Structure 1
Amino acid sequence: MDYEDIDKAYEEEGRTVVLSAADLKSLPAESSREIEVVEFVPAEQLDPIMYERPYYLEPDSKSPKAYMLLLRTLQDTERVAIVQYALRQKTRLGALRVRGDVLMLQSLLWDDEVREANFPSLETDVKISDKELEMSSALVDSMARDFEPEQYTDNYQVQLRQLIAAKLEKGDSIDTEETFGVAASEGEGGEVIDLMEALKRSLDKKRGKASAGSSDESSAEGSDDGATAKAASKPRARVKKA
């Protein structure tokens, strides 16, 4: 069976709905190419557990000033832009932040994707003496130093390359194109999004909504309906391959 013949399915209360690729592409979130700026938050409020894959953002050669303006603004305000965007049939949450002298888009886990730790053993009352704490602190102090990632080596990758080189030398190899049907260098190119233009549209849209909201509030003053609006969230649908 080929991969393109596999559809996804959603199961609920004993019933299964099959979702084809065409069904998923018809979703508004999937078809959107906007990068929506939701808000700007202090960087320290983002829990590192939420961080996923990072992407370096290259400025458009036609508008490097807009890129640098956003970069400098995020630096000066010490804020991170929270954005939403669609990628690979999913709506994503991301953090637009500064790393060095470039902008980086880092995908984030949704709140309901972060699992809380619940270990019953931690509920036990553990006695730690001052002497034990002193010895433990001394050990930490003896090994304390600045983090230098370049001094660490992925030994698995080193050994894997050695294994590959040894097999190539012995002639124990296969023809990539003949075996897998495509040349090793072939592959689909990534979609290029004009980030600055997408952000500009998002910010302009936000300003428009803010202006409209101010007008609505002034005209709605004095209403006594007493209604209170609150957000309601539903658990994310569990999707499985059919």
Structure 2
Amino acid sequence: MPRAMWEGAVSFGLIVIPVKLYGATEPVDVPLHQVHGVDGGRIRYRRVCEICGQEVPYDQIDRGYTAADGRVVVLTKQDLEQLPLASKGTVEISTFVDESEIDPVYFEKTYLIEAKGVGVKPYVLLRDALAKTGKAGVVKVALRTRESLALIRPRGDLLVMDTMLWPDEVRDPSFAAPDTEVHASPAEVTMAETFIGQMSGHWEPSEYTDSYRAALEALVTAKLEGATVPEPVKTEGGGEVVDLMAALRASVEAAKKRGHASSGKSSGSDKDEAAAG
């Protein structure tokens, strides 16, 4: 079982729910580290003070802020822990909103919320009420060394907390918008809608795999066993699209063929199962 990274309480109105918070995700990757290419020796980094030249143990490292005039303000762990944050131990739901109102660009990380002791009943109450109303609760929470906006929402039998960026941390996207003079014709939009319809399906996370990680694991295994390193798979890059409608029609036809091939495989395997039965 993972270790709780925060303990506190969630409150709404006069109801207080003692909870623990756990990371909802766990990165899975091939662990690589830096080595000297000549002899394979591990590259190590040392924390060295640029003034006295001494290596500094982690427990003696504090935070610092450099002002515009060059002066450095040292902030100790005690300074940071004593900041007057109401959200440090208890998060209070200030507003209930429709989750669909929030642009996904604001979402940062998801945490699992576990009820403690007497908090189970109000936890279930909040979960069921949010699920029934389609709402999520907006809170502020202090995790580690910063305060974040967050959203508490139901996820199956659980409540989860999604930390979010502050509005001033979200970049104004207008610079990346296409020229307002460029328009897609109604026929092009209709054809694109047809293509989207052909390619639509249900979200099945298990159908997606990390191809890069698989290739990296194969490369590491080959090198460990002294085998031939796998040849990279060559893919043809897409050329410049000259006729948009022709490209859309070709895309729709290709999607139809893929759909027929999948249907054929399904019906074929159904026949085999019937014959076997």
TM-score, structure 2 normalization:
0.53
Q: Secondary structure of 1:29's match?
A: coil
Q: Deviations over 1:39-81 (max 9, x none)?
A: 2222222221111111111222444212111111112222211
Return 5+ residue gaps in structure 2 as ranges: 1-46, 48-56, 227-277
More helix by share: 1
Work out whether residues 84 and 92 of structure 1, in 8 Å CA contact, stay in contact via their aligned partners in 2.
yes
**Is 1:86–1:92's contact at 8 Å kept on the other side of the alignment?**
yes
What is the alpha-carbon root mean square deviation over aligned residues? 2.7
Give the structure 2 partner of residue 68 of structure 1. 124
- Would you say the 8 A contact 1:30–1:89 is kept in 2? no
Question: Post-superposition shift, 1:82?
Answer: 1.0
Q: Quick one: distance in 2 between partners of 1:128 and 1:76?
A: 40
Give SS of 2:152's match. strand
2:207 maps to 151
TM-score (norm 1): 0.60
Q: Note the 1:208-227 alignment, pairs <5 A.
A: none
> Which residue number corresponds to residue 195 of structure 1?
none
Matches within 5 A, 1:166-185: none
> Residue by residue, what CA displacement relative to the aligned partner does 1:152-202 show, whole Å, maximum 9, x if unpaired?
0012333344455556667xxxxxxxxxxxxxxxxxxxxxxxxxxxxxxxx
User: Which amino acid in the other structure matches residue 51 of structure 1?
Assistant: F
- Structure 2 residue aligned with 1:197: none
Per the alignment, residue 96 of structure 2 pairs with: 40
Distance 2:86 2:215 in 1: 41
Q: CA deviation at 1:94?
A: 0.9
Gaps of 5+ in 1: 171-242
Higher relative contact order (CA 8 A, sep 6+): 1
Is the CA contact 2:107–2:164 (under 8 Å) kept in the aligned structure 1? yes
- How far apart in 2 are the matches of 1:127 and 1:71? 45
Q: What's the counterpart of residue 52 of structure 1?
A: 108
Q: Are positions 1:8 and 2:63 aligned together?
A: yes
Distance in structure 1 (CA, Å) of the matches to 2:86 and 2:126: 26
Identity of counterpart residues, as a percentage? 36
Alpha-carbon spacing, 1:148–1:105, altered in 2? closer, same or farther (3 Å): same
- The structure with the larger Rg is 2
8 Å CA contact 1:41, 1:79 repeated in 2:
yes
The answer to whether the 8 Å contact 2:107/2:165 transfers is yes
For 2:190, the equivalent position in structure 1 comes to: 134
